[in-house]
Structure 1
Amino acid sequence: MAEAHQAVAFQFTVTPDGIDLHLCHEALRQVYLSGLHSWKKRFIRFKNGVMTGVYPGSPSGLLVVLVGYMSTTKYAKIDPSLGMFTKLSKHLPISKYVTEEGQRIVGGVLIGTGLWIAVTFVMRNVLKYLLSWHGWMFNRHGSLSLKTKIWLVLVKVFSGPKPMLYSFQNSIPRLPVPPIKDTVRSYLESARPLMDDEQYKRMEGLAKDFEKNLGPKLQWYLKLKSWWASNYVSDWWEEYIYLRGRGPIMVNSNYYAMDFLYVIPTTRQAARAGNSIHAIMMYRRKLDRAQIKPLMVLNTIPMCSSQYERMFNTSRVPGVETGRASLSPASRVFISQANVLQHMNESKHIAVYHKGRFFKVWLFYDGRLLLPREIEQQIERILADKSEPHPGEELLAALTAGDRDPWAKARSQFFSRGKNKQSLDSVEKAAFFVTLDDTEQRYDPENSVQSLDSYGKSLLHGKCYDRWFDKSFNLIVFKNGTMGLNAEHSWADAPVVGHLWEHVLSSDPVRLGYTEDGHCKGNPHPNLPGPQRLQWDIPEEGQAVINSSLKVAKALADDVDMHIIPFNDFGKGLIKKCKTSPDGFIQIALQLAHFRDKGKFCLTYEASMTRLFREGRTETVRSCTTQTCDFVRAMMNDKATREEKLKLLKVAAEKHQDLYRLAMTGKGIDRHLFCLYLVSKYLGEDSAFLKEVLSEPWRLSTSQTPLQQVDLFDLKRHPEYVTSGGGFGPVADDGYGVSYIILGEDLINFHISSKHSSPETDSHRFGSNIRQAMLDMLDLFQFDNKASNK
């Protein structure tokens, strides 16, 4: 093809006079522009590093201090340094090149710089001290105490102007280690409604013994780590919960995000991919330049931004288990090269999968990012390509969907050299992965249940071989223009991916837009080199491993029972009229629905983020409380009055909010218990208490997907632009996974997952119970009666 010649830097022919070199000027121009782009990026990163390193001070602030200091000294004849200026000048070396006036200037610069550094240091540490106070969290909803208002003003004063994404990292406090006795007490409180008297008495004995004997020893090591490390939980959480796992990450770990619920901006697959890929790359540019505004609670309190660092150019790489070794006389553990996160500082291409073929698509040309229509042009070329997959290529990605050990061994054996290594590098070092899915998915109002369930399952696992589950995220664009994301979990949590996705969805139909015939705006590029087809040479032994992994992945995917409910009977607008937290209301409804579904209570996991602390990730809110159980029993009791039920509901909601606040402010229990367990293993100590606590299954795992950038979506003017949210697979074989997103005032989307193989679960049945529980709880407030009385 003609465009292939544009990618060759040197052309040569052999003549009787020797080798004749002809420089390809266009290729050399591209090399120059590429280098210029890289140096610009390095300079921007250096500048951002300086700006972040001195925040809340700034280079301009330093200049103001120096000019002010020198002016005061020279013209006002006042020495603000109280004599230090003169003393310092006397000690500077005098030579014919440095006049006395020059000495005074140098001395002034040094003292002024020192003053600026001191002020910056004080401001940063005062801010860290202020951010360590979390009393604001415990104000009544919708009201702020005088103390909190004064505190917010001080935080704003010491925060400095125009913060960049990472500006607050050095001022965000470290996650504190809770006292052992508080964690034990809170655990017993959470366990009480799930145990009978005999079980509870036994667990209470184990807990008290741990608190008195082994606990303090483990706590000492944990506090030592908290003083040394940025966060005493996050590195162990990433390593042991995510990267040490040897089972499939598809369904079990990866999660998904959906498109708009009601509209598809264009039905052209290539055009939708063009706008979306461009929007994602524009987000990456902002990320590289730290121009994304840090997430702020109450528009004032910063949250940690460290999880954004590995959003792009990142891939999970499997390691091979190598054997056993002893860490101590009392313990023997597997020593393995665990999965690692491979992160590249720079990547200028994406990897694209379509009908069994892999392509490498460069996103930069002429030293700039390709425009949406130019990206669409590249995608159109891939869609028009009729070449057949190489042997083993079509199902290759199934290796990332199955167990990790076969994938690790196959990677080492079949993909460590030659064209296979080069092609694998192109996939793993890509900015992100794109799947041009050959199926059609969307919300169909005439078949809402089946259409959404199919859509969710496709995003969660697809065909098990058409997503590269190891990439930080996959952009999936379906044949009819609908799209979604599938994200790997170890590098970050869902709100970080959600922040990117909100940017993409808000940019796509509004800022970028489409022409009348559905194409991206703009014109194709006449000389743009085409996508590069990746080459593979997979032997039959390698293909056998691929087929084996696909079999494992297919069994896992086929077992997923997915159900998505757009609940539009009411939303947060009406819940707020109940003077109840929407999240608390929904969590209590889930408990009522679960009891009706299974006839019993269960240990419940609700994810809460701890990003008020440096490198914070998540904490668990144990939503099944004694107060919630009392309310559920009252709802199941025909003799209980409406007033009694309503009173119990309000008590349960307030208890839930207290637990959520404690989790967010570093006083949760599950991450503390997890770290204590790890320390015990490192020391070769056995704890019956910790062992039992960490072996308890979470049969109801829940998470709210927050809408973080509300200003990007004008749902009052454009109610059709509501997203469907996202979801994840079931955590327990006999349990439910429930994700929900609160959209606008009148819509809540629920994503429910379970396993067909469990006789105890049925996602559609549970969905019906959730809907009924929500309606029954709202009936307690009798809004219809109040309206009729008015």
Structure 2
Amino acid sequence: MVKPCSLVKPCHLVKPVSAGRLAGRYLSHQRGLPGLPVPPLQQTCQRYITALEPIVEADELKRTRSLLEEFQRAGGLGERLQRGLEKRAQGSENWLSDWWVQVAYLEYRMPVVVHSSPGLVLPRMDFTDQQGQIKFAAKLIAGVLDFKTMIDNETLPVEFLGGKPLCMNQYYEVLSSCRIPGLKRDSVVNHAKSPAPPKHITVVHNFQFFVLDVYHSDGSPLTADQLRVQLEKICRASAPAGARPLGILTTQHRDSWGKTYQLLMQDETNRASVSAIQRSIFTLCLDPARPQTSGDSYRSAAAVQMLHGGGSGGNSGNRWFDKTLQFIVGEDGTCGANYEHAPAEGPPIVALIDHVVEYTRKPEPERRHSASLPTPQKLHFNITAEVQRDIEEAERSMDTLAQDLDMRVMVFGHFGKNVPKSHKMSPDAFVQMALQLAYYRMYQHCCATYESASLRMFRRGRTDTIRSASSASAAFVKAFDGPRTQVCVRPAAPVPTPNTSRARPLCDDRSLCFPLVPSKTDCVMCFGPVVPNGYGVCYNPMDDHINFAVSSFNSCQDTDSARMARAVEAALLDMKTLLDQTPQAKL
């Protein structure tokens, strides 16, 4: 239980993927983690005002201060709400996490596609045909199962930071889980915790779904070679013969999908097939080859495939977007993942993918005889005329959304995190200030900015918000293009470091969402803007380059992803020039 705190010292928010790892069992440390404290009312209000200072006009700020004074008065609404939070904290493991999941995800009714679920683009793999696709996909499955063994045995190395363990709960929520649509609110079911945990994955090819058992009767996992044989069977059994793209229903507005889901589940065959998808460990999507492109154009097109599949004429129907984890393997070597955000934040997904990518690079183990393997089960659906109309409506809606999304992936190749580090600066802080500078140069004002940060130092911690737009950042960007004497450059103090997540912005004006998603793999995560007239920018700083994914909506005349990407590039180069011209401080 958590005691109310009279004073909270600001904690550094951490990026777990770079934390040290030590062997240890999940439950052995979980109970010892501290609960999330409730910040004092005065601190909460002060930080709210601080966040507003760089983005609202003086008269609005003055009015807000007056409202907060009334809110904080003795015996007022603020004190009553504060006592309610403190009481909730005393009776729960984490007073915030359940609310966060419900409000930020399960009650959020926009489609999970683009609006909520991130995509992740891996480096292009070295194959260009179905044989190579199947071989890589088989090793990918084996790599996930290898990671799953650590989860099942509770031997997944516990992440530590500063000698203190971080909450590992999210790692146990990723596999065998699925979002379930509802009429007003969705839910999440984790079948890994059931008495008979799933032993299969779902494979979707040419819009057709299959159950692939990935364990033998003795509990041992199939080898990569055995999985390859099974995937070949699936591809032979799923010729493109006009199968209806049932998976595109999962791209709908959640209320619409909830209604269609009820219709679909009235049929016994449909219930069994949908249940098999929902219970599966994860989904593997085998996509056809795409038109050939190269460079950033290829990466941008690949990001679209991971984020939403490209619309009804592409692969949006070759998905089940309610599954927590979908791996996507294209016949042309385009690979990545899409994950439904409710069960977990980015770090567990990235850690799993880093493990899988490393596993796929290992030499193939000795082959095992595969003659006795059963044929994978094809899932069947009975589609009524009403459900077919909903499929067609989902196709139209998905096409509209796909055409509206403006996605640009840029590899900034001039330098990477090595440059700010050489100047004793936080690479994340350096990039965040470049993003602020790029935006200010484009629009001549600052705006609400959301950068997510982990709360995993607390039991069942999810995420919190870093307001990167501050009075200090506003002063920096306004001074940058003026006389150089106005710009102070000095080594950064330790700063909060973020991971990926979603949230609504602080205000309704144009907003930015700028999460850092660090990974050992040279990949980039991508997502859509959180508001119609905003930007979503995700970045992964490597030693000598930085991967960026910039998104906006074409329907907003004021935003332009390509222009924003160019502005970010210019800002980074100009900031490096300034550093090169500034004597380094002696520490």
- TM-score over 0.5 for the pair: yes
In structure 2, what is the equivalent of residue 277 of structure 1? 141
Asked whether the equivalents of residues 510 and 533 of structure 2 are also in contact (C-alpha less than 8 Å), the reply is no
Asked whether the equivalents of residues 216 and 222 of structure 2 are also in contact (C-alpha less than 8 Å), the reply is yes
In structure 2, what is the equivalent of residue 478 of structure 1? 330
In structure 1, what is the equivalent of residue 261 of structure 2? 411
Instruction: Indicate which of 336, 340, 354 corresponds to 2:187.
Output: 340
In structure 1, what is the equivalent of residue 396 of structure 2? 551
1:357 aligns with 2:208: yes
Listed as ranges, the matches of 1:287-306 within 5 Å are: 287-298=151-162, 300-306=163-169
Instruction: Indicate which of 121, 135, 138 corresponds to 1:258.
Output: 121
1:313 aligns with 2:155: no
Instruction: Indicate which of 748, 751, 760 corresponds to 2:546.
Output: 748
TM-aligned CA deviation for residue 732 of structure 1: 1.1
TM-aligned CA deviation for residue 756 of structure 1: 0.9
Asked whether the equivalents of residues 605 and 698 of structure 1 are also in contact (C-alpha less than 8 Å), the reply is no
- Secondary structure of the equivalent of 1:230? coil
Question: Rg bigger for which structure?
Answer: 1
- Secondary structure of the equivalent of 1:232? coil
* Structure 1 CA distance for aligned equivalents of residues 450 and 92 of structure 2: 27
In structure 2, what is the equivalent of residue 401 of structure 1? 251
Classify 1:491/1:697 alpha carbon distance in 2 versus 1 (closer, same or farther; 3 Å).
Answer: farther
Task: Report the identity percentage.
Answer: 29
After superposition, the C-alpha distances for 1:662-698 in whole angstroms (9 at most, x for unaligned) are x99xxxxx99xx9xxxxxxxxxxxxxxxxxx965456
Instruction: Indicate which of 611, 625, 628 corresponds to 2:456.
Output: 611
- Secondary structure of the equivalent of 2:115? coil
TM-aligned CA deviation for residue 236 of structure 1: 0.5
TM-aligned CA deviation for residue 454 of structure 1: 0.3
1:726 aligns with 2:525: yes
Q: Which amino acid aligns with 1:270?
A: I
Asked whether the equivalents of residues 127 and 332 of structure 2 are also in contact (C-alpha less than 8 Å), the reply is no
Asked whether the equivalents of residues 441 and 455 of structure 1 are also in contact (C-alpha less than 8 Å), the reply is no
* Structure 1 CA distance for aligned equivalents of residues 369 and 399 of structure 2: 40
In structure 1, what is the equivalent of residue 297 of structure 2? 450
Classify 1:211/1:254 alpha carbon distance in 2 versus 1 (closer, same or farther; 3 Å).
Answer: same
Instruction: Indicate which of 593, 601, 623 corresponds to 2:438.
Output: 593
What's the RMSD between the two structures over aligned residues?
A: 2.8
TM-aligned CA deviation for residue 216 of structure 1: 0.5
TM-aligned CA deviation for residue 203 of structure 1: 1.2
Asked whether the equivalents of residues 377 and 524 of structure 1 are also in contact (C-alpha less than 8 Å), the reply is no
Q: Which amino acid aligns with 2:142?
A: H
Listed as ranges, the matches of 1:174-193 within 5 Å are: 174-193=35-54
TM-aligned CA deviation for residue 226 of structure 1: 0.7
Classify 1:527/1:784 alpha carbon distance in 2 versus 1 (closer, same or farther; 3 Å).
Answer: farther
* Structure 2 CA distance for aligned equivalents of residues 466 and 430 of structure 1: 16
Listed as ranges, the matches of 1:417-428 within 5 Å are: 417-428=267-278
Listed as ranges, the matches of 1:732-771 within 5 Å are: 732-743=531-542, 745-771=543-569
Query: What TM-score do you get using the length of structure 1 for normalisation?
Result: 0.67
In structure 2, what is the equivalent of residue 501 of structure 1? 353
Asked whether the equivalents of residues 448 and 506 of structure 2 are also in contact (C-alpha less than 8 Å), the reply is no
In structure 2, what is the equivalent of residue 225 of structure 1? 88
In structure 2, what is the equivalent of residue 461 of structure 1? 308
* Structure 1 CA distance for aligned equivalents of residues 303 and 354 of structure 2: 18
- Secondary structure of the equivalent of 1:542? helix
Query: What TM-score do you get using the length of structure 2 for normalisation?
Result: 0.89
Gaps of 5+ in 2: 14-19
Classify 1:697/1:292 alpha carbon distance in 2 versus 1 (closer, same or farther; 3 Å).
Answer: farther
After superposition, the C-alpha distances for 1:44-83 in whole angstroms (9 at most, x for unaligned) are xxxxxxxxxxxxxxxxxxxxxxxxxxxxxxxxxxxxxxxx
Higher RCO structure, 1 or 2 (CA under 8 Å, sep 6+): 2
TM-aligned CA deviation for residue 260 of structure 1: 2.5
Asked whether the equivalents of residues 176 and 282 of structure 2 are also in contact (C-alpha less than 8 Å), the reply is yes
* Structure 1 CA distance for aligned equivalents of residues 127 and 149 of structure 2: 24
TM-aligned CA deviation for residue 650 of structure 1: 3.5
In structure 2, what is the equivalent of residue 529 of structure 1? 374
Q: Which amino acid aligns with 1:705?
A: V
TM-aligned CA deviation for residue 133 of structure 1: 10
- Secondary structure of the equivalent of 1:295? strand
Q: Which amino acid aligns with 2:269?
A: K
* Structure 2 CA distance for aligned equivalents of residues 784 and 570 of structure 1: 18
Q: Which amino acid aligns with 1:237?
A: W
Classify 1:616/1:784 alpha carbon distance in 2 versus 1 (closer, same or farther; 3 Å).
Answer: closer
Which structure is higher in helix share? 1
Q: Which amino acid aligns with 2:563?
A: R
Q: Which amino acid aligns with 1:251?
A: V
Q: Which amino acid aligns with 1:727?
A: C
Q: Which amino acid aligns with 1:555?
A: T
TM-aligned CA deviation for residue 785 of structure 1: 9.9
In structure 1, what is the equivalent of residue 283 of structure 2? 433
Alignment length, in residue pairs?
558
Asked whether the equivalents of residues 605 and 701 of structure 1 are also in contact (C-alpha less than 8 Å), the reply is yes
1:650 aligns with 2:513: no
Instruction: Indicate which of 680, 696, 704 corresponds to 2:516.
Output: 704
* Structure 1 CA distance for aligned equivalents of residues 474 and 507 of structure 2: 23
Listed as ranges, the matches of 1:153-172 within 5 Å are: 162-172=23-33
- Secondary structure of the equivalent of 1:350? strand
Asked whether the equivalents of residues 248 and 553 of structure 1 are also in contact (C-alpha less than 8 Å), the reply is no
- Secondary structure of the equivalent of 2:371? coil
In structure 1, what is the equivalent of residue 16 of structure 2? none
